[in-house]
Structure 1
Amino acid sequence: MDILPIKDGSAARLPGPAFCAELQEEFSRQLLSIADWWLENALDRNLGGFFGEVSVRGTPDLQADKGVVLNARILWFFSELCLYLESPEYIAKYRHLADRAFRYFVERFDDKVHGGAVWSVDYQGKIVDGTKKTYAQAFSIYALSSYYRLSKDRLALDKALSYFELIEKNCVDRELGGYWEAVGRDWLPIEDVRLSDKDMNAPKTMNNHLHVMEAYTGLYRTSKKREVKGALTKSIQWFCEKILDKKSGHLRLFLNRDWTDISTSFSYGHDIEASWLLAEALENLGNPHLESEFSPCIHTLSGSCLREGIGEYGQVLDTYDFSLQTRHTDSEWWVQAEALVGFLNAWQSTGEERYWKAFLRVWQFVKDHQIDWEDGEWLYHSTLDRREEDQNYKAGFWKGPYHNGRAMMEVCRRIKSLSLYGNKNRADRNYEIAD
């Protein structure tokens, strides 16, 4: 291991070029493996778009409803994959999946009557649930922004901006701040605003605000519009000032309208995911004052996750239940994916070796217990959780290629950028390479 001096005089142990190259190869292979699984197993060639659900063994449920979040995540992933890849051969292999997802989104999920995206359609593409969940509008914006960057199709950017305007017009609490969880198809208030059956019926949630911030980061990166910049700034402030509990170091998951916390648990996965998404939002915003003010929140979240959320095998655990005063030991695929990026980001920004070690331990856990080496893709629950097959689907309402596919690309980019791995001009703020 080589030693890399840090600006404060301390030192972080870094892997040498050979180990970086080995890691890069592992993550690159896994990225293409994920993409190939979706190419080979998820396309609904009879009715268009993608199957609403595919089992752990790759068997599609031909009559499963199709959710907008899954479709948006597929659109985002294959758009970003084609932007990431350098080989014309690979780009040609996957580009049609991005185009397919965009066409189906516009044809079936885009609400031609009221605007925005409906929540779900049936297997034939007919609207099942027209609720306008802010979370879904956010993922739609995120995906459409990426597709525009790939295709330069003006319709994609126009849709993204129109959804942004609808959120800002209909989903903002003008008096107390923050975003409403959901409204009806016609953008009027509704009683049941839950994102899913397991969620609380709360008017404001962490998950909603996290993904609005994420979506606005992508839209601002794409459009550079002043109004998007203002909304992104506002979303960062709400997230750091209202949702992050600086005393506990965790995120408040469910909140009343006045921002009082009604949560019953912490979510370690959301803590570590939010840490790097917040860093990305601040970086794209480019406001030194806000970055100085809110960067400590990044380290608060990554630190609390590492301190409290690590399991016996190095994995990041699911949640901590207040009433039971215990950690739920399930390992879901998305938590491990976000932990890979979150811990690597924390190591890059602090130089603390504990984060590098945590990153490597999570990756080893993923290879041992989360990746399905026989049938492809990642298991919803790890092999340690012993779930029934119907609880371990590979594709569905809540499982797409977004978390793990994004993690593979993010890790590859970050490892490739290391000065000790073929890039002598690394621009990371926190490191100086000694001659």
Structure 2
Amino acid sequence: MSVKLKQLKSELSTELDNILKYWSKKTIDTKNGGFIGEINNQDIIIDNADKGSVLNARILWTFSSSYQITQKEAHKKIAKRAFEYLSEYFYDSEYGGLFWSINYDTTPKDTKNQIYALAFAIYGLSEYYAISKDDKALEIAINLYLEIQKHSYDPINKGYYEAFTRDWKSIADLRLSDKDANEKKTMNTHLHIVEAYANLFKVWKDKTLQSDIIELLETIETHFINTETGHLRLFFDENWKEKPDVISYGHDIEAAWLLLQCAKIAENENLIARYKKYAVLLTDATFEGIDSDGGLWYEYDPETNELIAEKHWWPQAELLIGFFNTYEITEEEKYLNVVYKNWGFIKKYILDSKNGEWHWGIHKDYSLIEKDKAGFWKCPYHNGRACIELINRIKS
């Protein structure tokens, strides 16, 4: 192992520790239970903020996954707290789904079944089961998987629908966030369903689940990967008619490594070979979005030829894994050099050296984007996972 790689592993180990310290010390809600719903960029807790299921599921995954590296009982304890809170207050045992959000006092707030959120719950629960062998965690994960297959899967055209009411009826607003197109099938949700199913398959070797993962990867290959541009297509109607949208550099590079990992977990040699090629294709296309400082721009709109000139925290984290993964496939130093340069960018502009954790991001002029430190979308999953993945990959 080179000195430079050793140094990177050491720095990422320190950073993982810093991330876990921040979430351990600052986000435990001692008053209302669970975790704080929102902390702003000045590190001020927003009292009585709503609590999101995605944030809770991602905390559950991060501390469960980190425990496998750190072996610290304190991390396992926080994972247990996240599991108990999710199973008690977010999991809807009456209808078999998951509340999108709850009020600070644990009462349900937005009770829609957003499939993206169910996927993250499966992802977190299966990771927690791996460290705890708590049968209840596995049972809920399997139940959520079965509900997705029952209600969200499209048996005619393949793929998965976005969202439903609490009792699994159709819903007018399918969007994950305000910036998304209101379409029935999206890249983002499919990416995280297959991620969740693959994580569940690691602990529950069910043949039907395995074939669902394989079909999902084939569906993603058919509809979402644009082999001409090397970018992902993002939004479709139920019949796979595309609604053209932006290029999302962060999703491109996240998919590059994550889909290959899912193919490996599914143990399908044909898909592994194909997704190795897609990993290189998507990574090469991501070069378009890398600035001279090593940071990855957020999005690009080909329709208006406009760059969304912001550098958010999560695409940087995904770039670290994606480019390292392509370095492993190709053994070409140019990909590893991007990792080093991007990590330098993160240390300089994205890490909050004063308060801990990562800033939301920066504008083109390097001023801070004044958004959450912790909240519905700001969580320890992307940056924590980048540290975990690279630590494990450099080690092996």
TM range (shorter): over 0.9
Amino acid at match of 1:25: S
Aligned with 1:244: secondary structure? coil
Task: Output the CA distance in 2 between the equivalents of 1:150 and 1:158.
Answer: 15
Matched, 1:305 2:286: yes
Tell whether the 8 Å contact from 1:194 to 1:201 is kept in structure 2 after alignment.
yes
Amino acid at match of 2:49: A
Deviation at 1:114, TM superposition (A): 0.3
Task: Output the CA distance in 2 between the equivalents of 1:19 and 1:252.
Answer: 36
Tell whether the 8 Å contact from 1:276 to 1:345 is kept in structure 2 after alignment.
yes
Tell whether the 8 Å contact from 2:28 to 2:36 is kept in structure 1 after alignment.
yes
Task: Output the CA distance in 1 between the equivalents of 2:280 and 2:97.
Answer: 35
Task: Output the CA distance in 2 between the equivalents of 1:118 and 1:151.
Answer: 24
Tell whether the 8 Å contact from 2:359 to 2:368 is kept in structure 1 after alignment.
no
After superposition, give the CA deviation of every residue in 1:244-296 in whole Å (9 maximum; x if it has no partner): 11111110111111212213211010000001001101111111122223332
2:380 to 374, 380, 401: 401
Deviation at 1:345, TM superposition (A): 0.3
Matched, 1:173 2:158: no
Identity %: 39
Aligned positions of 1:39-188 closer than 5 A: 39-86=24-71, 91-188=72-169
Task: Output the CA distance in 1 between the equivalents of 2:43 and 2:275.
Answer: 43
Task: Output the CA distance in 1 between the equivalents of 2:165 and 2:211.
Answer: 26
Deviation at 1:324, TM superposition (A): 1.9
What's the RMSD between the two structures over aligned residues?
A: 1.2
* Total equivalences in the alignment: 395
After superposition, give the CA deviation of every residue in 1:277-324 in whole Å (9 maximum; x if it has no partner): 011011111111222233321211111102x11113111111111232
Q: What stretches of structure 1 of length at least 5 have no aligned partner?
A: 1-14, 418-435
Aligned positions of 1:9-408 closer than 5 A: 16=2, 18-86=3-71, 91-306=72-287, 308-382=288-362, 384-387=365-368, 389=370, 391=371, 393-408=372-387
Task: Output the CA distance in 1 between the equivalents of 2:166 and 2:153.
Answer: 16
Task: Output the CA distance in 2 between the equivalents of 1:388 and 1:168.
Answer: 38
Tell whether the 8 Å contact from 1:245 to 1:251 is kept in structure 2 after alignment.
yes
Task: Output the CA distance in 1 between the equivalents of 2:224 and 2:6.
Answer: 39
After superposition, give the CA deviation of every residue in 1:84-141 in whole Å (9 maximum; x if it has no partner): 224xxxx122221101101110111000210121100011111111110110010000
Task: Output the CA distance in 1 between the equivalents of 2:234 and 2:367.
Answer: 27
Deviation at 1:189, TM superposition (A): 1.0
Greater gyration radius? 1
Tell whether the 8 Å contact from 1:149 to 1:222 is kept in structure 2 after alignment.
yes
Normalised by the length of structure 1, the TM-score is 0.89
Amino acid at match of 1:48: G
Deviation at 1:174, TM superposition (A): 1.5
Task: Output the CA distance in 2 between the equivalents of 1:81 and 1:150.
Answer: 10
Amino acid at match of 1:349: I
After superposition, give the CA deviation of every residue in 1:149-203 in whole Å (9 maximum; x if it has no partner): 0110000000000000000010011111110011111111111111111111000
Deviation at 1:375, TM superposition (A): 0.8
Aligned with 2:300: secondary structure? strand
Tell whether the 8 Å contact from 1:313 to 1:365 is kept in structure 2 after alignment.
yes
Normalised by the length of structure 2, the TM-score is 0.97
Q: Structure 1 residues 320 and 415 mapped into 2: Cα distance closer, same or farther (>3 Å)?
A: same
Amino acid at match of 2:62: F
Task: Output the CA distance in 1 between the equivalents of 2:250 and 2:27.
Answer: 26
Aligned with 2:310: secondary structure? coil
Deviation at 1:388, TM superposition (A): 5.4
Q: What stretches of structure 2 of length at least 5 have no aligned partner?
A: none
Aligned with 1:331: secondary structure? strand
Aligned with 1:382: secondary structure? strand
Matched, 1:414 2:393: yes
Task: Output the CA distance in 2 between the equivalents of 1:382 and 1:375.
Answer: 17
Aligned with 2:247: secondary structure? strand
Tell whether the 8 Å contact from 1:311 to 1:329 is kept in structure 2 after alignment.
no
Task: Output the CA distance in 2 between the equivalents of 1:357 and 1:247.
Answer: 26
Deviation at 1:33, TM superposition (A): 0.2
After superposition, give the CA deviation of every residue in 1:336-364 in whole Å (9 maximum; x if it has no partner): 00000000000001112211111111101
